[in-house]
Chain A
Amino acid sequence: MGFRSYLLRRVFYAVIVLFVILTFNFILFRLMPGDATKMIIDPKFTPEARAMLRKQYGLDDPPLKQYWNYITSLLRFDMGLSFSTRRPVREELAERLPNTAVLFLVTFILDMLVGISLGVYAASRRDTFADRFVVGAGLFAHAVPGFFIQLMLLLLFGYYWPILPIHGTMSAPPPDGMFLRLLDRMWHLVLPAGSLVIMGFGSWALYTRNTMLEALGQDYIITARAKGIPPRDILYHHALRSVLPPIVTIIFMSLPGAVSGAVITESIFSWYGVGKYLLDATLQMDYPAAQGAFYLIALAVIVSNFLSDIAYGLVDPRIRVGAGVSR
């Protein structure tokens, strides 16, 4: 099968998956008990006012009509008005997405750099103290609840040694000048991004270490050693290269996190992002807001999977050929 038909098949699958997810997304919220107006607990909120609110929200429309409105609106990227704020969901998400993306990308790149480097390093020194240390630290950071690490860092650098900002993405008000503002933003990133790196490097390191160890045991590596190729070349040019496809897949598979955000991190460091928005919307039964956020995440997952498939196909041509044979 050629790359073009492989690509078309992937696009087709992506559209089907998107449609199914959107349908489930619609049904799921309607199956949840209660309705949005019941979340407004106010002694002065009369049944008449509540009925009017239902009408305004379109909750009185027949389900099929609601579904049609929902699908056609989402295709236009119109996610409706949030029940709780009466503001366009698209606007609310657009305000938050850059913050979540910045936090995620910085964390992601650092995590990847630190985790993969440590993984390769540990694999090259199997059963030494360095290996055990990396494995131990990785497992510990991965096992300890994230909020605990973050609260400890908050106390340490916010209270006992108060050198870092503890909330927000900028000072209130921010300094004048673009360069100073940029520095201010980076300064505010230190604690949330740093804590996420501490929490996340372990899985990258352990995954890389294990795949590297597997690769280092392969016949072609033994042959390379026998041929007298320097260990450094074997490590980086032979072993690491052979484990790239799964690592590339993992990289793309992690991308949806860029929009779903880290709910706890966003709450602890008052980071204005999508994760906390999604949580609040779900708890408040704010259908349009929650559906909009899920739509964004579903899109991100589908696009990431699609990119991952393409990257995998490019990195490892056997995938395309294999797909063709199986058909």
Chain B
Amino acid sequence: MLRRIRLSVALVLLFALVFGASSVESAAKFKWEDWGPHVDTIIMPIVKDSEARRIAFERGESIVFPGLTRPADIDKLKGSSNVELTQVLGFHMFYVCFNMRKAPLDSQVLRQAIAYVTDRDNIIRTLFKGYMLPMTSFVPQSSNYYKSDVPTYPYNPAKAKELLDKAGYKLDATGKNRIDPKTGKPLPEIKFFTPTYEVAPTSAEIGRMIAEAAQAIGIPIVPEPMDFPVMLDKLDRSEFDMYALAWGLDRDPTFLYDFFHSSFDVEAGYNRPGIHNAELDKATEALFYAVDQKGAKTAADKAQAILAEQMPYVPLYSRPYIDAWRTDLVTGYVPQPGFGAAESSNYWTPLNIRRVDRTGKPIEGGTIRWLLQEEPKNLNPLVMSSAYEFDVYRKITDSLIRMHPETLEDMPWIARKWDVGTWNPEPGKKGTVITFYLNKGVKWQDGVEFTAEDVKFSIDYAKEQQVARLLSATQDIVKTEIVDKYTVKVYFSTESYWHLYNASPILIPKHIWKDVKDYKTFEPWKEPHPKVKGLTKLIGLGPFMLKDYRPGEYVTLVKNPNYWHIKPTAK
């Protein structure tokens, strides 16, 4: 136990050494508030080249530079006196997956031995100059569901050899390969798939490094970089031995159910390792159908403990979100665990961000220039899929529930409160019913009042139209019911704590969308608003409104004068 704690401390220290203490400083300097917005305009220039983005930031053409990934940029900007880098742990996991359906990687000992020869620290130091956080559990450290006290596999080739020897994997006469005790023959070649060097150089290099380390102890792993679509095809058909890829995850640990429950070991299912473990199934089911947070936490802990023994994956590292800010021009950014300070899921920075005057004092009004790395091609909220589209849209929209910027706990927002209860969809069967109580006086950006009708419409529309990306969220919804103008109930056929989030839809205005027959081809940002000049049909409840989108050039957002949470004194 003591060794595990030592390891965790060492990993955190390594991370802290790399980044220094700037994030702590930024958190201390600025106290977020839930009123806003404070700037009049946000201009988002679209700059695709990473070199050009850094130059635009250094020239002051843009004062927010989100999502830094290149160590060279980070090193360069870290030394600038008028630049602050905020960095927080992300909901991200890079992992190595084993195919447990077939020999030889159906052997737990072999998987554990490979985990022992995986030198995370060296990989992170060599390939990422230290800008990644080593991962040892199956939930990222940024999550409230992360369990630290699970068995870990620190780099230790001697321990790996000892494990193999003890389990009967003796070296053959050449001393280069081990004999499989089950077959009495040398271990067959184990192919390690990664994307190619051209597409993902670091992933391909990780493949080479792990293969070399494994070969050194007699496990014949051979790296095999391949075209990404080919690789995905093979993974979907389970035609692999092992591979390395990354997941972008979420605050909630329900992905453990999708990734490791035996029912998802189907073609194109996400149980790619093919793990079948009754105890794990029970734990992940308990997680997915938990009726409260406490139950979810207990189940997530149990699942992580089992996974750490079974090792279907070797979790390698988690990518932090690093964003750069021109401190001579801007303040008020809010680093949020798991989401970074400038990432699209962070609703708090757009609300709090403000310009500073020459003395560094925050001022009201003004313009913020906020870099966009790619084209936000489609601004239809039911179709959009890329992070760059959400980067724009999430400044325009708002939600019923918000995540606290520090604790990530749910906090009331447009819904001033909610109840989670049960009902009987059929005799003898229990379902969940969520009741949202909405704030009064919340308006769409065109001035129309937001009511329970809009919530009901948003859910019903997504379900009726079978919106592909909301299918999982809406599949268990049986019906919605308006109690009064500001109260709405959502009924689910099954019982689960997570239905609260499934019931919090993408909010779309009924008075605009009720006439939209095909959601897929609707281009709300291109159609003028039927009544309000200067607006388009892309209207939300958020702090900023879309003013102008010039494809390939920039997006301009302006302050929403009808925003329901403008600070009373700033009105």
A interface residues (Cβ-Cβ under 8 A, vs B): 32-34, 38-50, 52-53, 56, 81-82, 84-88, 92, 95-96, 99, 151, 154-155, 158-159, 162, 166-170, 172-173, 267-273, 276, 285
Interface secondary structure of A, over-half rule = loop
Q: Across the interface, do B268 and A33 meet the contact criterion of CB distance under 8 Å?
A: no
Measured between beta carbons, the chain A residues less than 8 angstroms from B176 are none
Residue of B nearest to A173 (CB): B556
Given contacts A86-B380, A285-B229, contact A276 B48 (CB under 8 A): yes
- Give Cα distance in the complex from A158 to B60, angstroms: 12
Candidates B49, B58, B250, B473; contact of A43 at CB < 8 Å: B250
- Give Cα distance in the complex from A166 to B369, angstroms: 15
- Give Cα distance in the complex from A46 to B47, angstroms: 33
- Give Cα distance in the complex from A86 to B248, angstroms: 23
Q: Across the interface, do B523 and A173 meet the contact criterion of CB distance under 8 Å?
A: no
- Give Cα distance in the complex from A38 to B231, angstroms: 10
Interface segment out of the listed B157-165, B424-432, B453-461, B463-471: B463-471
- Give Cα distance in the complex from A276 to B374, angstroms: 11
Q: Across the interface, do A268 and B49 meet the contact criterion of CB distance under 8 Å?
A: yes
Cβ of B337 under 8 Å from chain A: no
- Give Cα distance in the complex from A53 to B520, angstroms: 11
Given contacts A43-B255, A43-B259, A158-B55, contact A169 B553 (CB under 8 A): yes
Residue of B nearest to A285 (CB): B229
In the A-B complex, the 3 residue pairs with the smallest Cβ-Cβ separation, listed nearest first, are A272-B552, A34-B229, A172-B554
Measured between beta carbons, the chain A residues less than 8 angstroms from B561 are none
New A-B pairs, 11, CB < 8 Å, besides A43-B250, A270-B48: A33-B233, A46-B472, A84-B377, A86-B520, A96-B552, A154-B55, A159-B58, A162-B55, A170-B550, A173-B554, A269-B49
Q: Across the interface, do B48 and A267 meet the contact criterion of CB distance under 8 Å?
A: yes
Tell me how far the C-beta of A52 lies from the nearest C-beta in chain B, rounded to whole angstroms. Answer: 6
Measured between beta carbons, the chain B residues less than 8 angstroms from A170 are 550, 553
Candidates B58, B229, B468, B523; contact of A39 at CB < 8 Å: B229
Indicate with 1 or 0, residue by residue over B543-567, a CB within 8 angstroms of chain A CB atoms: 0000010111110100000000000
Provide 26 A-B residue pairs closer than 8 Å at the C-beta atoms, listed in order of the A residue: A33-B229, A34-B233, A38-B229, A38-B232, A39-B229, A43-B259, A43-B270, A44-B250, A45-B472, A49-B471, A82-B377, A84-B377, A85-B377, A86-B520, A92-B377, A96-B551, A96-B552, A99-B552, A155-B55, A158-B52, A168-B47, A170-B553, A172-B43, A173-B548, A270-B552, A276-B48
- Give Cα distance in the complex from A183 to B270, angstroms: 54
B interface residues (Cβ-Cβ under 8 A, vs A): 43, 45-49, 51-52, 55-56, 58-59, 227, 229-230, 232-233, 236, 247-250, 255, 258-259, 266-270, 369, 375, 377-378, 380, 383, 385-386, 466, 468-469, 471-473, 475, 520-521, 523, 548, 550-554, 556
Measured between beta carbons, the chain A residues less than 8 angstroms from B475 are 48
Measured between beta carbons, the chain B residues less than 8 angstroms from A34 are 229-230, 232-233
Tell me how far the C-beta of B519 lies from the nearest C-beta in chain A, rounded to whole angstroms. Answer: 9
- Give Cα distance in the complex from A50 to B232, angstroms: 14
Residue of B nearest to A43 (CB): B255
Measured between beta carbons, the chain B residues less than 8 angstroms from A56 are 468, 520
- Give Cα distance in the complex from A159 to B267, angstroms: 51
Q: Across the interface, do B378 and A85 meet the contact criterion of CB distance under 8 Å?
A: yes
Q: Across the interface, do B229 and A159 meet the contact criterion of CB distance under 8 Å?
A: no
- Give Cα distance in the complex from A162 to B56, angstroms: 10
Tell me how far the C-beta of B330 lies from the nearest C-beta in chain A, rounded to whole angstroms. Answer: 17
Measured between beta carbons, the chain B residues less than 8 angstroms from A270 are 46-49, 52, 552
Tell me how far the C-beta of B491 lies from the nearest C-beta in chain A, rounded to whole angstroms. Answer: 21
Given contacts A34-B232, A43-B250, A270-B47, contact A172 B468 (CB under 8 A): no
Residue of B nearest to A271 (CB): B552
Candidates B52, B236, B268, B472; contact of A166 at CB < 8 Å: B52
Candidates A48, A53, A172; contact of B45 at CB < 8 Å: A172
Candidates A46, A81, A95; contact of B551 at CB < 8 Å: A95
Tell me how far the C-beta of A47 lies from the nearest C-beta in chain B, rounded to whole angstroms. Answer: 5
Measured between beta carbons, the chain B residues less than 8 angstroms from A172 are 43, 45, 369, 550, 553-554, 556
Q: Across the interface, do B55 and A81 meet the contact criterion of CB distance under 8 Å?
A: no
Tell me how far the C-beta of B473 lies from the nearest C-beta in chain A, rounded to whole angstroms. Answer: 8
Measured between beta carbons, the chain A residues less than 8 angstroms from B59 are 158-159, 162
Q: Across the interface, do A47 and B266 meet the contact criterion of CB distance under 8 Å?
A: yes
Given contacts A40-B385, A173-B548, contact A168 B554 (CB under 8 A): yes
Measured between beta carbons, the chain B residues less than 8 angstroms from A41 are 232
Q: Across the interface, do B49 and A50 meet the contact criterion of CB distance under 8 Å?
A: no
